Structure 1
Amino acid sequence: MKLRFGAHPSNLTLTAITHHAPLQQSLRDAGHDPEFLWYPEGRLMQDLAASGKVNVIGTGTTRAVVAQAEGLQIAYIGASTQRRSWSAILVPEGSPIKTASDLAGKRIGLIEGSFQTYFLLAALDKVGLNYESVDHRNLKPGESQAALRAGDIDAWVAMDPYLTTAFSAGGLTKVAECDGVISNRSVFWVLQDVVDAGPEVVQTVFDALAATDAWIGADPARAGALFAKCIGNGLSADEWAKGIAKREWGIHLPDAELIQEQQTEADLLAKHALLSRRINVNDAVLPFALHARAATV
């Protein structure tokens, strides 16, 4: 079968394996000739997967939930650790916005349809607000930061490495962090044709992704140089490296905790009509077991 990897700037593991050919070698050694499709935004994944252009996918938690709700047959094959300090809602210093309750009616920049939608929604839900309580605006990270500093928006749902760089530049303060609001992870999943190819194929994919993730964490400077070149977005190699060094790396097998987290997210999105239908995330569990293996870098 053909393995078709979809990669976008918000998933650094898939970005690395797409743009650094040596990381693909284990797939080729296993007899595969993988394809790698680079696309600019994670939310484009939906159409790419539905059309069969990609079948190995890595996203934030939200895109996987939406994909299942939209009828794609998916199966989780791995997940990152929880990233408790990877994202925060930022406002200018001196802003009257002090808590999530103060966000009502305010202009907020974020990447719509990503985990940032879930983060913002969960923060609002905790204080009795909903997604339509705010003026949410779909902006790329650099656009959000510029708009926030210019006064064109009131708050920004930021993520690293942009968060670290923006916060270090001064003038901004945090209203809320992911910690205590959501369990922020990257999740990796495949379509049914990959599952049907059997445990050996899926294990090979998992091993390649785990090794790539380990490669990034082992040398932030090396990975930062790669991302500055292939993603850019105004960040230098050093800025990328600092963000990478702050993050705990490692891809783990999907477990009951992950499935429950995904179900909690799906239920909240459905409650606020941000999901087309209610889903049972257990339907996206692999029908066979994978095994964790020591990743080499």
Structure 2
Amino acid sequence: MKGKRPLRIGVHPANLHLVLASCWEGTFPNIAVEFIRYANGRDSAALLATGEIDICGTSSTVPIFAAANGQDVTFLAASAQRRRDGALVVSTDSDIMTVQDLAGKTIGLAEGSFQTYLLAKALEKEGLNLNDVITRDVLPAEGLAALQQARLDALITFAPYQDYALTTGTMRLLQGSEALIPNRSVFWTTQAQTIGAYTIASFFDGLERLGRDIPHNIDQAAYILATDDTSPGLRRAWHKAIVARNWSIHHINTTILRELQDEADALFRHHVLKHQVNLLA
């Protein structure tokens, strides 16, 4: 970092690790930090480009888009795989019984997130591609309501919303993510941010320490993450999701980079990316 300016960490609701870090006392004791809040993880690349944040955590898809758009992405850390933390659901009374039945249907998801990759892989496995379906960009709670009101034919959701959806009795699982994608969060920056090695190491250590603390403080984590959810059922789903989640943090290695490259290649095959991206160079 230049001078003594705090490390500006981007925080958005979809990266639970950083949401908790921003509210957890003493997460980064060895460095000065400032948490910059914004609404959507897909804005992370733009905020890095303008220098409003120095570092962020997102789904793996976001930095792949950034790299495809010419940003020099640097991966710093990754979560454990969360293969069960994503699902394609339909209404209980829907006539959609298989992924093949999605052809021509309208599917809600967070465009440009891991959900795009999940949908691409689910379709690809059945000989379809993203051009065979209609997608609608929706927020998690908005998507649940839209599916219940038949404004969507299917929805891609994630924990805790997927657990909540499947306990309402109005939705059923069409396809889980466990056999399709690794579904890691990644923590990253760009070369333009020029973050020093000590700061990066301290950031990693803080994430790792928090990952060890959370399983011993489930109620505290649930209180923070469920603050804006008033539904008792959804609050219970948050608690369940925190217990089930693997909160460990990992250094970037060849296995993780190959996973990211597989994702980039799939998104290019489905014409989501305009350019091929080489993350292994």
Q: Fold conserved (TM > 0.5)? A: yes
Give secondary structure in 2 for the equivalent of 1:117. Answer: helix
| Pair 1:69-2:73 in alignment | no
Task: Find the counterpart in structure 2 of residue 19 from structure 1.
Answer: 23
Task: Find the counterpart in structure 2 of residue 189 from structure 1.
Answer: 188
Counterpart AA for 1:118: Y
Task: Find the counterpart in structure 2 of residue 257 from structure 1.
Answer: 255
Worse-superposed segment, 207-216 or 129-138: 207-216
Where does structure 1 differ by over 6 angstroms across 4 or more consecutive aligned residues? none
Task: Find the counterpart in structure 2 of residue 116 from structure 1.
Answer: 115
**What is the deviation of 1:233?**
7.7
| Pair 1:10-2:14 in alignment | yes
Instruction: Report percent identity of matched pairs.
Output: 36
Give secondary structure in 2 for the equivalent of 1:202. Answer: helix
Task: Give me the whole-angstrom Cα distance separating, in 2, the residues matched to 1:197 and 1:132.
Answer: 40
Worse-superposed segment, 146-155 or 232-241: 232-241
Give secondary structure in 1 for the equivalent of 2:95. Answer: coil
Deviation by residue 1:151-201 (Cα, 9 ceiling, x = unmatched): 11111101001111111122211111111111111111122255x444322
Give secondary structure in 1 for the equivalent of 2:189. Answer: strand
**What is the deviation of 1:19?**
2.7
Task: Give me the whole-angstrom Cα distance separating, in 1, the residues matched to 2:231 and 2:25.
Answer: 24
Does the CA-based 8 Å contact 1:121-1:131 persist in structure 2? yes
**What is the deviation of 1:103?**
0.7
Task: Find the counterpart in structure 2 of residue 202 from structure 1.
Answer: 200
Alignment of 1:39-54 (within 5 A): 39-54=38-53
Task: Find the counterpart in structure 2 of residue 132 from structure 1.
Answer: 131
Does the CA-based 8 Å contact 2:68-2:274 persist in structure 1? yes
2:211 to 201, 210, 213: 213
Does the CA-based 8 Å contact 1:220-1:245 persist in structure 2? yes
Task: Give me the whole-angstrom Cα distance separating, in 1, the residues matched to 2:55 and 2:81.
Answer: 21
Give secondary structure in 1 for the equivalent of 2:26. Answer: helix
Note the aligned Cα RMSD (angstroms): 1.7
Alignment of 1:100-115 (within 5 A): 100-115=99-114
Task: Give me the whole-angstrom Cα distance separating, in 1, the residues matched to 2:158 and 2:235.
Answer: 17
Structure 1 residues 174 and 158, CA gap change in structure 2 (3 angstroms): same
Give unpaired runs (5+ residues) of structure 1: 284-297
Counterpart AA for 2:215: G
Structure 1 residues 13 and 233, CA gap change in structure 2 (3 angstroms): farther
Task: Find the counterpart in structure 2 of residue 175 from structure 1.
Answer: 174
Task: Give me the whole-angstrom Cα distance separating, in 1, the residues matched to 2:211 and 2:63.
Answer: 19
| Pair 1:222-2:226 in alignment | no
Task: Give me the whole-angstrom Cα distance separating, in 2, the residues matched to 1:11 and 1:161.
Answer: 13
Task: Give me the whole-angstrom Cα distance separating, in 2, the residues matched to 1:239 and 1:70.
Answer: 37
Deviation by residue 1:105-151 (Cα, 9 ceiling, x = unmatched): 11111111110011001111122212121111011111111111111
Instruction: Report the count of equivalent residues.
Output: 276
Task: Give me the whole-angstrom Cα distance separating, in 2, the residues matched to 1:37 and 1:217.
Answer: 25
TM-score, structure 1 as length reference: 0.88
Task: Give me the whole-angstrom Cα distance separating, in 2, the residues matched to 1:232 and 1:64.
Answer: 29
TM-score, structure 2 as length reference: 0.92
Does the CA-based 8 Å contact 2:45-2:63 persist in structure 1? no
Task: Give me the whole-angstrom Cα distance separating, in 2, the residues matched to 1:265 and 1:234.
Answer: 35
Give secondary structure in 1 for the equivalent of 2:226. Answer: helix
**What is the deviation of 1:282?**
2.2
Structure 1 residues 22 and 238, CA gap change in structure 2 (3 angstroms): farther
Give secondary structure in 2 for the equivalent of 1:58. Answer: strand
Give unpaired runs (5+ residues) of structure 2: none
Give secondary structure in 2 for the equivalent of 1:15. Answer: helix
| Pair 1:155-2:154 in alignment | yes
